Amino acid sequence: MITIYHNSRCSKSREGVCFLENTKEPFQVINYLENIPTKEEIKELLRKLNITPIELVRKKEPIWISDYKNKKMSDDQIIQAMIDNPKLIERPIIVNGDKAVIARPTERINEIL
């Protein structure tokens, strides 16, 4: 089953949902602002994305700039910052089995279908 980690206020995230609807493949939507991923879930996403925690952070978010930008942080501290402030998680994330992409641009979804 394909999964999209979705923020309905984000146009790129909405485009990702539209893209998946057009594939006719079944998928589930996780609104990660309401259903915040656990530390283990974020680590699994990072593994599937093949990126480091800092690469999953939205570094232009005001909360990142004000609270974290100039701090030296471990990977676990960065993950905890995303759990504490899920707006910091880059979006949309599309997962298909053992692969995942950050769908920016939306066409990147094709890489895992």
Active site residues: 10
Secondary structure tally for the chain: helices H, strands E: 4, 4
Helices marked H in the chain — which ranges? Answer: 11-23, 39-49, 62-67, 75-84
- Tokens representing residue 111 in the block: 């890489």
As a whole number of angstroms, the distance between CA 39 and CA 105 comes to 26
What whole-number distance in Å separates Cα of residue 74 and Cα of residue 101?
23
Q: What is the largest CA-CA distance in the chain?
A: 44
